[in-house]
Structure 1
Amino acid sequence: MTQPSLSLVDTDPAESAVDAIVIGLHSQPDEAGTLLPASGAESITAAFDGKLISTLALLGATGAAGEVTKLATLGTIAAPLLVAVGLGAEPDGPAPDLETLRRGAGAAVRALAGSATVVLALPVPDDADAPPVLRAVLEGALLGGYRFAGYKTKPQKGRRDPVAELRLHVPDAADEAAAAELRRAEVVAKAVRQSRDWVNTPPNVQRPADLADQVAAAATEVGLGVEVLDFEQLKAGGYGGIVAVGQGSEAPPRLVKLTYTPANVTSPKRISLVGKGITFDTGGVSIKPAAGMWEMKSDMAGAAAVAATMIAIAQLKPGVAVSGYLAIAENMPSGASYRPGDVITMYGGKRVEVFNTDAEGRMVLADAIVRACEDGTDYLFETSTLTGGQVVALGKRIAGLMGSDEATALVEAAGKAVGEPAWRMPLPDDVRKGMESEIADICQTNANLDRAGHMLQGGVFLREFVAEGVEWAHIDIAGPGYHTGEANGYWTKGGTGIPVRTFLHLVDELS
């Protein structure tokens, strides 16, 4: 679906002749015991002659975060429809909670599907706190209205088109800082939506070569350097992990490298982003249960996020050098599949004893990590839907985070800033001890087939392939990368686009 057009306005929201106006509503009562409208709604509240809040309360509005209440204005203001979105308690500080604003804007815009033009009169301060608030509202609004185009042959009854035009009310529409945030939000949201599109695409339509070709075409269009290694080149180059996982499928694997070099910057910092791109994961010979296996089309969410991030970087033009590595394969059972008990020689020469072919992500990622370190990097951030252990430990909203101190601290701070939380986990020595092999350098999983500390095993394994001196972080998005429930906030069902915004925030910080 096409992304809505976006603009800033500073005209009176009550006089805006659009399809709908969105205001914020706080949950705690004011001195008179009524709900409290958020800043930005002053002229609209006045137009209703003091009856707006009591009317919304009669309709059941409570101001709870993310709650959406619709009210026909009957000519009271220029727009025929008013939407009040709950923002929870009024903030103690000068700026509202950013994640609450993101989710509120997303929920409101999604509820207004079928409306052509919408004005968001949400709280945006007129001071130094404005840029992060603007960023939160704009990104939430653009992402909440996302819908995957799909493959229906007939129009779905009652299905309404997403909002086509969004206008955000700000104190000064001509402000250059606000305009810069708008431009950035358009690029960032488009990248997240592209990542979601790739994740939501059916696996028969998007096999390894298809994904590699789509990424290469999109990257070339924005001026990134592109290198694609096919199956024969991977075999000749010694990429044993990617070859082993991909050889069981009739659709052979790929390794894609995308490169951005800043102009007029001497000796820039070097950042590598690495993503797991398993376009479908059956588990291979260690086959998964059938229930829910269809969700394994999302096992390339890490690669999708890296590719989308690189495309955004080419447009945002930060002052650091960034390379993206996408390890793409399809993990299928066949007579050519790799097996439990195999010993695989990885890129760089380290040998791995395989115990479970369903632990394929770490196999392809290890090759990509070694290649990234070989090419030269200061920071390496890798993301993948790696382990069910992440979901068990941290649920569907919080990513697992492992790695070196500086890199993990950066990821943790970036995730907190953009609403993509990650929780740091340890890399214990006893987990590494349990992965000793009698015949190779390391076992792919715990040698006793014990799933205890399964998420940690993935991090411990990947650490073995990071070059000395490289700051690195592993972000396990097995839960947050794909949303199976009903839409809420700016998340829609399917791919979430995590951690594109975290990566872009990291790049900003390191710039």
Structure 2
Amino acid sequence: MDFELKTLALAAASSQRCDLLVLLVAEGFAPGPDALSSLAALALKQGDLQTRAGSLLQCYAPPGVAARRVALLGAGDGGAAAVRKAVLALAPVLKVRGIKQVVTLFAQAPQPEAVGAAVRSLAEASYVYTSTKSKPEARTLARAVIGVPAPAPVRGAFDTAVAVVAGVEFAREWANRPANHATPTLLGEAAQSLAKHKPIQCKLHGPAQVAKLGMGAFMAVAQGSSEPLRFIELHYQGAAKGQAPVVLVGKGITFDSGGISIKPAAGMDEMKFDMGGAASVLGTFRALAQLKPRINVVGLIPACENLPDGKAVKPGDVVTSMSGQTIEILNTDAEGRLALCDALAYAARFKPAAVVDMATLTGACVVALGGVRSGLFANDEALAAQLQAAGEQALDPCWRMPLDDDYAEGLKSHFADVANVAGRDAGAVTAAKFLQRFVGGYPWAHLDIAGTAWKSGVAKGATGRPVGLLVQYLLAAASARRGAGRGK
């Protein structure tokens, strides 16, 4: 979808020709003499519209307004969260056939964050997956105009939001694809397609290279599948070569049957979403290509399938990770951490400023936090605070979880250096403690996105989270480094 930021006052908007004109009406609305203001004021007076976020009143060809359809939307306090809630309420309207162009304007001068929220929410509400449908009902909405009284103060937020939309939609697209349309090989090709953007380079490691690297834990997960694994390495260089990069690591299990510890059949189709962490890395790089911040970023994706087979790893097997630590695999359905631990060990070679991994890792995190916030674990207070602040600003929130050493007691093994599971209690925490063993001395954070990377039920599909959080974090980190450089 194409976005445009345009100078548009309420009076001029009345003559704007489009398929749908959306007016966001926040608390404290003061109507003018124009037709749109009069329409909104009358609706508020009669009680047919409220300013609470998400209140919606649709009108067809109202007098004095050139738009075919008009949607009056309550926008609460006018802040980013309220605007997001309001625009998402438009989802059924945006998917009506024949709506190709929408103009969204604010009845009052908006804050930059509210404009960004409007852009991201319009894209989210109108998204339609079509890739594997024989007669796809494509998204008809092709162009969205954001009308504001003065574009200059909100231009930065608008441009950032447009880039985040590109990244989120790239992530959603690949996470939504069925496993036979998103194999490790195809995921590698998706990463290579990002290298058409000049700041990005891509390197693919196949089975032979991964074996040479000694990634025994990652290879153990893949050995039950006929699909060859891929270890994907992406580089974005926006700063001087000597600047330490931020490394993003994404779990790329393109289908997870559980292996020999096979999952129940009900809901197993959703295990195509188990590469949500990988998708978020790809989506973040797509956004970086557009924003071009002055920062260096490395993306690492261990991609493979986890299937039961005569060659599959068995409960009780012991494997040797890239770090040299041996792992007793007590449950083959705890495979994501096996792939990630080798990627985390590989990350050390870049002498990173920070490492952040994203993984649909544990059902326990879903039980703890549901689908609202991602679980955040970190060994560094500053990094944790930066990620939390980025999540709040991007409306892609996370919640700090504990990493006490006592939680690692259950990972002790009689037959290896560590076991890959520690029982049901505090499962999200013990999974993070397992990963922490493979982190060097660098600042590290783990985002468990099992509850936030996709939705089930009627709204089944990938969300593209936490691309928004990651992009906001990287932009803030780039800005902080520029500020530190000027201070020297």
Q: 1:162 aligns with which of 137, 140, 143?
A: 140
Percent identity for Structure 1 against Structure 2: 32
Asked whether the 8 Å contact 1:119–1:166 carries over to 2, the reply is yes
Aligned to 1:285: 260
Q: Residues 227 and 161 of structure 1: is their aligned pair in 2 closer, same or farther, counting only changes over 3 Å?
A: closer
Q: Residues 101 and 41 of structure 1: is their aligned pair in 2 closer, same or farther, counting only changes over 3 Å?
A: farther
- State the 1:111 CA deviation: 1.8
Secondary structure of the residue that 2:391 maps to in structure 1? Answer: helix
Correspondences of 1:99-498 after superposition (within 5 Å): 99-108=81-90, 111-113=93-95, 114=97, 115-122=99-106, 125=109, 130-154=111-135, 161-173=139-151, 175=152, 177-263=153-239, 265=240, 267-404=242-379, 405-446=381-422, 450-468=423-441, 470-487=442-459, 493-498=460-465
Cα distance in 2, alignment partners of residues 37 and 169 from structure 1: 19
- State the 1:390 CA deviation: 0.4
Cα distance in 2, alignment partners of residues 292 and 100 from structure 1: 33
- State the 1:484 CA deviation: 1.6
Cα distance in 1, alignment partners of residues 476 and 324 from structure 2: 34
Q: Residues 329 and 39 of structure 1: is their aligned pair in 2 closer, same or farther, counting only changes over 3 Å?
A: farther
Cα distance in 2, alignment partners of residues 39 and 257 from structure 1: 54
Asked whether the 8 Å contact 2:453–2:465 carries over to 1, the reply is yes
Per the normalisation by structure 2, the TM-score is 0.91
Secondary structure of the residue that 2:284 maps to in structure 1? Answer: helix
Whether 1:83 aligns to 2:55 is no
Cα distance in 1, alignment partners of residues 251 and 31 from structure 2: 43
Cα distance in 2, alignment partners of residues 343 and 41 from structure 1: 73
Cα distance in 2, alignment partners of residues 325 and 42 from structure 1: 57
Cα distance in 1, alignment partners of residues 138 and 50 from structure 2: 27
Aligned to 1:32: none
Q: Which amino acid letter does the alignment assign opposite residue 298 of structure 1?
A: F
Correspondences of 1:492-507 after superposition (within 5 Å): 493-507=460-474
- State the 1:45 CA deviation: 4.2
**Deviation sequence 1:114-145 (CA, Å, 0-9, x none):** 3122111125636xxx3222222222222221
- State the 1:23 CA deviation: 1.5
Asked whether the 8 Å contact 1:146–1:162 carries over to 2, the reply is no
CA RMSD of superposed structures (Å) = 2.2
Q: Residues 171 and 357 of structure 1: is their aligned pair in 2 closer, same or farther, counting only changes over 3 Å?
A: same
Asked whether the 8 Å contact 1:124–1:134 carries over to 2, the reply is no
Aligned to 1:6: 4
Q: Residues 223 and 384 of structure 1: is their aligned pair in 2 closer, same or farther, counting only changes over 3 Å?
A: same
Asked whether the 8 Å contact 1:13–1:43 carries over to 2, the reply is no
Cα distance in 2, alignment partners of residues 352 and 294 from structure 1: 29
**Deviation sequence 1:428-463 (CA, Å, 0-9, x none):** 2222111111221111111xxx21110011110010
Cα distance in 2, alignment partners of residues 46 and 292 from structure 1: 49
Give the unaligned 5+ runs of structure 1: 27-35, 488-492
Q: Which amino acid letter does the alignment assign opposite residue 133 of structure 2?
A: K
Moved more, 399-408 or 475-484: 399-408
Cα distance in 1, alignment partners of residues 80 and 125 from structure 2: 15
Q: Residues 124 and 168 of structure 1: is their aligned pair in 2 closer, same or farther, counting only changes over 3 Å?
A: farther
Secondary structure of the residue that 2:345 maps to in structure 1? Answer: helix
Asked whether the 8 Å contact 1:39–1:122 carries over to 2, the reply is no
Cα distance in 2, alignment partners of residues 37 and 248 from structure 1: 62
Equivalenced residue count is 473
Q: 1:72 aligns with which of 45, 60, 63?
A: 60
Cα distance in 2, alignment partners of residues 193 and 42 from structure 1: 40
Per the normalisation by structure 1, the TM-score is 0.87
Structure 1 runs (4+) deviating above 6 angstroms are 39-42
Q: Which amino acid letter does the alignment assign opposite residue 480 of structure 1?
A: T
